[in-house]
Amino acid sequence: MKIQSHQSSNTKIAEVLSESIIIDTIEDGSNLMADIYYQGFDALILHEKNITPTFFDLKTGIAGEILQKFSNYRMRLAIVGDFSSYNSKSLNDFIFESNKNKQINFVDSVGEAIERLR
């Protein structure tokens, strides 16, 4: 796992780069958020491929638990990926609602992620 730093306006953004899944459990998400926070970052970019597929099955509760922690600690998050492959109305509605408040964002590109997180 590598952390790529991005600076946009006064916002220090961490982008996690990895070839493997780094968030497989609720604890993985909490630990990553804490690590990024204590390194002085204001926001985090994750890639869909680095998150367990069960995260995107809202019935498991993994997404809700992890994203609630990000909201509680006011750590802004962007998840970059192609979410069109998920045929879940509840997930699509969740993504739509999340993108409205800009705390948790689901976007197509790193550029869009940086734009939304600044």
What are residue 44's DSSP bridge partners?
14, 77
Q: State mean pLDDT over 45-74.
A: 95
pLDDT digits (tens, 9 = 90+) for 86-99: 889 999 999 999 99
- For 108-118, write each residue's pLDDT tens digit: 999 999 999 98
User: What is the model's pLDDT at position 62?
Assistant: 96
3-state class percentages of the chain: helix first, strand second, coil last, to nearest 5: 50, 25, 25
Tokens 């600690």 belong to residue: 73
In order of their start, the domains of the chain are 2-117 (3.30.750)
Confidence of residue 101 (pLDDT cuts 50, 70, 90): confident
In this prediction the pTM is 0.95
More confident residue, 102 or 37: 37
In sequence order, which ranges of 39-104 are alpha helices (DSSP H)?
62-72, 89-101
The pLDDT confidence band at residue 104, using thresholds 50, 70 and 90, is very high
| pLDDT tens digits for range 20-55 | 999 999 999 999 999 999 999 999 999 999 999 999
What is the reported pLDDT for 102?
85
